[in-house]
Structure 1
């Protein structure tokens, strides 16, 4: 699906079904430097369960026109423009990593539109090591390797290779997309206030082997949110790729 926001092209993968306003809508938000591709193992599954599914490419990512937005707050406001454009009512928001910060800030600003939220591999704040930011700003491919190492030591086990390397493919991608995202995560400060303000049912899914958002940090986040539940999967940070089947089963249970 392609729409226009602020005269820029926006792409959202919809499992080829478009949007039926009589159905509930699940919106997937990708992490730093990534795109709708990371949700490929879950889109069709939820579409087959009679949901609208929208895996949105943020500006400057995937098939959406740039430039990238430079703060979590700007992304939250941009998402509301997308939902308005599509005439959506209440939505179910699912974010991964940086997408959790976006879902968190969106919930603080536009809570009336939210039915439920699922946070995957996320926290209420995501400080980024200056070494990683510096590598990304210089377009160094080591930035991608560091992301995978800090996310999950066993990244070489991924079928088909490192999933981040297959999306972030050039020094330009690293400088103009990944670096901007990492700085946005590092600068976000409103997470604690937003987390304590969430009023809709929320599910937290964490990876037991995740080194980017460790379990204790994740639990601290989930305990800030009223009416929340959590589930831990034996995998790293890229939960929707490493163990998509268990993840989507737990989400499906939660949505019932």
Structure 2
């Protein structure tokens, strides 16, 4: 197997940023290694999955962590609603299915990405085989101070999101990757977003209402919640979880909203069980 990230994808006429965990996806590979599409949260990009994609790529899966339009390396403008993002993800699944000759994909979504993936799973029973949600909730209200700072493109927005998005261990320099500063990395990631992107995403989250979407999902669902998640507290996920027909819940003690970075080993273990 080649070991490079040189995999290109287009949705419509726009190029999409994709991380594949260092293994070039192909139809031959995807025939035996199920395709897993991972969708990031507000203001972020594909790199939030870097501690999961490489592991997945070398443990029987074909991971594709995608940048939403206007994020990371993806062309286009950021979309203004979760429904528009879900429609885009549906088109991305079509492009991936044609490229890798696969009939189904597994969806993994974090925060805003969890809303997007749930909408797609509810609407496309035939092509979504598994659904994994991290940092999710039936509704995602946004604090006015955060929304205002994002509208003004102030550094305060990344600072608030990073502070609220990490559990107490991350605030005292604990990091699974020695030598790296988790909070500093979170701020740096969000600072890379173009002007208006964070505000567009947060506005979409604030306006979203789940309705009966969970009840319309037919595939197996796993919900991963962090005990110290301040942005989507475990209790906020309760109504959504209750509406799923077939859902397992994984609790990560001491993890906050950015659980993929805070406790990557536990997240990988949960993904391995949920995606099999």
TM-score bucket (shorter structure): over 0.9
Quick one: structure 1 residues 168 and 52, their matched pair in 2 at CA, closer, same or farther if it must change by over 3 Å?
same
Deviation at 1:50, TM superposition (A): 1.8
Q: Is the 8 A contact 1:104 1:124 kept in 2?
A: no
Number of paired residues? 253
Q: Distance in 2 between matches of 1:153 and 1:49?
A: 28
Query: Please, which runs of 5 or more residues in structure 1 have no aligned partner?
Result: none
Q: 1:247 aligns with which of 259, 262, 267?
A: 267
Match of 2:166 in 1: 152
Q: Distance in 1 between matches of 2:181 and 2:270?
A: 25
Match of 2:214 in 1: 195
Query: Please, which runs of 5 or more residues in structure 2 have no aligned partner?
Result: 1-6
RMSD (CA atoms): 1.6
Q: Distance in 2 between matches of 1:174 and 1:212?
A: 22
Q: Is the 8 A contact 1:192 1:224 kept in 2?
A: no
Q: Does 1:141 align with 2:155?
A: yes
Deviation at 1:174, TM superposition (A): 6.0
Q: 1:98 aligns with which of 99, 112, 125?
A: 112
Runs of 4+ deviating beyond 6 Å: none
Match of 2:245 in 1: 226
- For 1:1-256, what aligned pairs fall within 5 Å after superposition? 1-15=7-21, 16-20=23-27, 21-22=30-31, 23-86=33-96, 87=98, 88-152=102-166, 154=168, 155-156=170-171, 157=173, 158=175, 159-162=180-183, 163-169=185-191, 173=193, 175-189=195-209, 191-234=210-253, 235-256=255-276
Q: Distance in 2 between matches of 1:31 and 1:226?
A: 25
Q: Distance in 2 between matches of 1:210 and 1:74?
A: 27
Residues 205-232 of structure 1: CA deviation (Å, up to 9, x unaligned): 0000111111111233212111111011
Alignment TM-score, normalising by the size of structure 2: 0.87
Q: Distance in 1 between matches of 2:74 and 2:194?
A: 16
